[in-house]
Amino acid sequence: MSKSKKQVLIKAYEATEVSLQQRIASTPVNQAKQLLHDFTQLYRTQGKLARLKGVSVNG
């Protein structure tokens, strides 16, 4: 993968990560299904971001 494409993907995943964190923070606790979905997406996004950055991840 080219360095510029990798940088664009990293920026996109970082933006998605921030967006999900903000969404989780503003979601009421009684919306468990939405929170579960958002936390799952955040976990996956952080994993993809770590792999792109070359950081070792568990699993």
The pLDDT score that the predictor gives to residue 1 is 80
DSSP per residue over 20-39, as a string? HHHHHHHS-TT-HHHHHHHH
Query: What pLDDT was estimated at residue 2?
Result: 87
pLDDT at 59: 56
What pTM was estimated for this model as a whole?
Answer: 0.85
Q: What is the pLDDT along the chain (59 residues), one digit of tens a residue?
A: 888 999 999 999 999 999 999 999 999 999 999 999 999 999 999 999 999 998 876 65
13: number of Cβ within 10 Å: 20
